[in-house]
Amino acid sequence: RAPTAPSRAVPALATRTGREAPVVETGSHEDRPGLAGVPLGDLAACVTDREEDRLKQAVVAAVKAQGECVSSKGTYRFVETKNLNAFLMWIERAPSRGVEDRCTELRYALECLESAGRRAAR
């Protein structure tokens, strides 16, 4: 029997159709003592990578030396913000809020940083 040629099927492209946010607990993570909430990467992806990268770049530019920002939306901990590829932010949502996607949380973090900057400038 002769060997068969490999299939030339085109691989399926990754899509962003599955945007439903995973169910996550808001308690502390046992694998990361001292940190509560969820890492940004555990949330549903933004509609586009471009928008997510743009918002991450804005957060990186706004963070400066600040390690955390607290607002009515929640607490944002900036663990790694030296560059976009290693970006790590933890989110502890306010109890009154539901699970959001990455872009929404990045926007909330930016609002928090901007309002903290305005308060510091006074």
> Is residue 121 predicted with pLDDT exceeding 90?
no
The length of the chain in residues reads 122
* Interatomic CA distance for residues 5 and 103, integer angstroms: 45
* Interatomic CA distance for residues 73 and 99, integer angstroms: 11
pLDDT in tens, 44-97: 999 999 999 999 999 999 998 789 999 999 999 999 998 888 999 999 999 999
Contact 34, 89 (CB under 8 A): no
> Is residue 22 predicted with pLDDT exceeding 60?
no
Alpha carbon 72 to chain centroid distance? 18
| DSSP code of residue 78 | E
* Interatomic CA distance for residues 78 and 75, integer angstroms: 10
